[in-house]
């Protein structure tokens, strides 16, 4: 099918639209999420059975809880992809306020674990506000930048996003949780870059943020010890580098095809957090290099699909939303896998879809549902306004998705 879109009084552009391709992208995304989620459920059982039996007298405790979280996450996924995008854009600002209030509350009444205050509620019904902060920041950034897309000054466009991001990062660093703070920065940077923020100031802000993060990391003794153990883990194998060393041993012990599901030595308690932040090490030992590569390829496929959805999106808000969610999922997976493989410092972020945890899994599935919502809408009609101000109609995001810089350039040319 071919449609005609008018971009001026005399210019006409013909754009081919393949609805089947858009539909296949939507279905492929759902398939990727389903495979990763089911793989996570199986690996949580394998990695937690021994600990669960030791603590609760049954090997099924953590598996059953993860299954419950997965069911709730599936409901959240279909709610997110079933309600119109305009609704989620309307609640972006209230959600930002709610997430900020929760981040403040956790510093005063939060539940602590491992030296950090990150949870609200009881042990059975705990909630992690930092996970909500990721979703709120992506929605807020997409909303603000889409509303201000025609503003010529990038500082005016980006200021609310940068202020919100800095506020969230500071609150999360007070918990402290450097890994989540890094993920938030990746989300914000991805949305700003997609919205057309110039590369020079974006790189400058990233450099300043990286230097400040390095100084903050060195200001606390435990963070400095983590950094040193990352650089020389086997020199600290019995202290701060113990977890990293055990993770590397587990990964190396899997060889090409692994020891088999349920046959991991790391799951017997040698590796701390083996079913949460370090579950990828158990995957590496039980499924080997082949299984680890499959997981990495699944996340890479989500990154490719997410980029396609962002490019084909019908509106600026949808495009920015898709870019932010994709950056969230991929950056968090890279940070987690990099820490397990000894390529990055240990930061304590979970592996999306796979690590044990209720708040993380439910909110990640909700965010992916929003991404699927955008993908599903890519084949629908989209209103277009020509450069002369006259309305036009086209089908297919790639036909009419004009970024603000392109529009501004065309307007300057007409003014000449």
What are 294-319's pLDDT values in tens digits?
A: 999 999 999 999 999 999 999 999 99
pLDDT in tens, 343-352: 888 888 999 9
Q: Is the predicted pLDDT of residue 224 greater than 70, yes or no? A: no
Q: What are phi and psi of 391, to 5 degrees?
A: -70, 150
Q: How many CA atoms lie within 13 A of 76 on its CB side?
A: 18
Question: Percentage of residues in the chain with pLDDT exceeding 70?
Answer: 80
- The three-class DSSP label of residue 33 is helix
What is the band of 395 on the pLDDT scale with cuts at 50, 70, 90?
Answer: very low
Lowest-confidence range among 121-135, 172-186, 254-268, 365-379?
121-135
Residue 392 maps to a domain: no
Residue 139 lies in a domain: yes
Tell me 4's DSSP state: E
Percent of all residues in the chain with a pLDDT value above 90, rounded to a whole number: 54
Taking the C-alpha atoms of residue 372 and residue 275, their distance in angstroms, rounded to an integer, is: 28
Do the Cβ atoms of 369 and 341 come closer than 8 Å? no
Whole-angstrom CA distances from 154 to 158, 202, 275, 347 are: 6, 11, 43, 32
Beta carbons of 400 and 394 less than 8 angstroms apart: yes
Of 117 and 322, which is predicted with more confidence? Answer: 322
Least confident of 1-10, 71-80, 119-128, 184-193: 1-10
Confidence band for 50, pLDDT divided at 50, 70 and 90: very high
- Tell whether 41 is covered by a domain: yes
In a domain, 4, yes or no: no
* Backbone phi, psi, residue 272, to 5°: -65, 150
Residue 236's pLDDT band (boundaries 50, 70, 90)? confident
Whether 231 is covered by a domain: the verdict is yes
Give the pair of three-digit tokens for residue 328. 């969230």
Query: What's the CA gap between 320 and 310, in Å, rounded?
Result: 7
Indicate whether 321 belongs to any domain: yes
Q: Using pLDDT thresholds of 50, 70 and 90, give the confidence band for residue 59.
A: very high
Number of domains composing the chain: 1
Q: Tokens at residue 414, please?
A: 């007409």
Minimum mean pLDDT range among 15-19, 110-114, 336-340:
15-19
Res. 382: pLDDT tops 70:
no
Q: Does residue 408 belong to any structural domain of this protein?
A: no
Q: HSE, CB side, 13 Å, CA atoms: give it for residue 351.
A: 32
User: How far, rounded to the nearest angstrom, does the alpha carbon of residue 266 sit from its chain's CA centroid?
Assistant: 27
Predicted confidence at residue 396, as pLDDT, reads: 37
Task: Kindly state the tokens that stand for 8.
Answer: 């001026």
The pLDDT assigned to 263 comes to: 87
Beta carbons of 62 and 356 less than 8 angstroms apart:
yes
Question: Across 274-399, where does the E strand assignment appear?
Answer: 381-385, 391-395
Looking at residue 222, what is its pLDDT? 63
pLDDT of residue 225: 66
Instruction: Give the number of other CB atoms < 10 A from CB of residue 102.
Output: 19
Residue 43 falls within a domain, yes or no?
yes
The pLDDT of residue 21 is 60
Q: What is the pLDDT of residue 215?
A: 76
Pair 150, 407: CB distance under 8 Å: yes
Kindly state the average pLDDT of the residues 74-101.
95
Identify the domain containing residue 133 by its residue range. Answer: 18-378
pLDDT at 401 over 80: no
């Amino acid at each position: 099918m071919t449609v005609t879109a008018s971009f001026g009084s005399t210019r006409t552009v013909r754009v081919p639209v393949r609805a089947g391709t858009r539909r296949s992208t939507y279905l492929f995304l759902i398939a990727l999420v389903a495979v990763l989620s089911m793989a996570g459920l199986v690996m949580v059982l394998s990695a937690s059975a021994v600990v669960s039996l030791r603590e609760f007298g049954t090997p099924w405790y953590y598996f059953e809880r993860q299954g419950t979280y997965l069911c709730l996450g599936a409901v959240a996924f279909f709610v997110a992809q079933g309600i119109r995008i305009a609704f989620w854009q309307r609640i972006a600002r209230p959600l930002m306020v709610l997430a900020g209030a929760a981040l403040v509350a956790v510093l005063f009444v939060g539940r602590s674990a491992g030296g950090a205050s990150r949870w609200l509620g009881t042990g059975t019904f705990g909630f992690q506000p930092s996970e909500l902060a990721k979703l709120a920041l992506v929605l807020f950034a997409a909303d603000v930048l889409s509303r201000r897309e025609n503003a010529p000054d990038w500082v005016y466009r980006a200021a609310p996003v940068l202020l919100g991001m800095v506020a969230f990062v500071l609150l999360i660093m007070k918990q402290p949780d450097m890994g989540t703070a890094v993920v938030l920065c990746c989300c914000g940077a991805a949305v700003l870059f997609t919205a057309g923020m110039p590369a020079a100031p974006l790189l400058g802000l990233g450099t300043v943020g990286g230097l400040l993060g390095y100084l903050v990391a060195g200001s606390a003794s435990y963070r400095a010890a983590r950094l040193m153990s990352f650089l020389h883990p086997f020199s600290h194998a019995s202290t701060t580098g113990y977890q990293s060393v055990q993770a590397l041993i587990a990964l190396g012990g899997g060889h090409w095809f692994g020891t088999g599901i349920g046959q991991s030595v790391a799951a017997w308690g040698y590796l701390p957090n083996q079913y949460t932040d370090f579950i990828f090490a158990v995957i590496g030992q039980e499924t080997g290099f082949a299984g680890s590569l499959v997981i990495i390829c699944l996340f890479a496929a989500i990154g490719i699909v997410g980029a396609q959805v962002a490019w084909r999106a019908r509106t600026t808000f949808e495009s920015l939303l898709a870019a932010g969610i994709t950056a969230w999922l991929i950056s968090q997976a890279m940070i987690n896998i990099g820490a397990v493989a000894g390529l990055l410092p240990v930061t304590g972020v979970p592996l999306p879809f796979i690590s044990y945890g209720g708040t993380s899994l439910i909110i990640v599935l909700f965010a992916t549902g929003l991404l699927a919502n955008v993908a599903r809408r890519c084949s629908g009609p989209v209103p277009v306004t020509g450069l002369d101000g006259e309305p036009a109609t086209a089908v297919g995001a790639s036909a009419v998705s004009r970024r603000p810089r392109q529009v501004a350039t065309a307007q300057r040319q007409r003014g000449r």
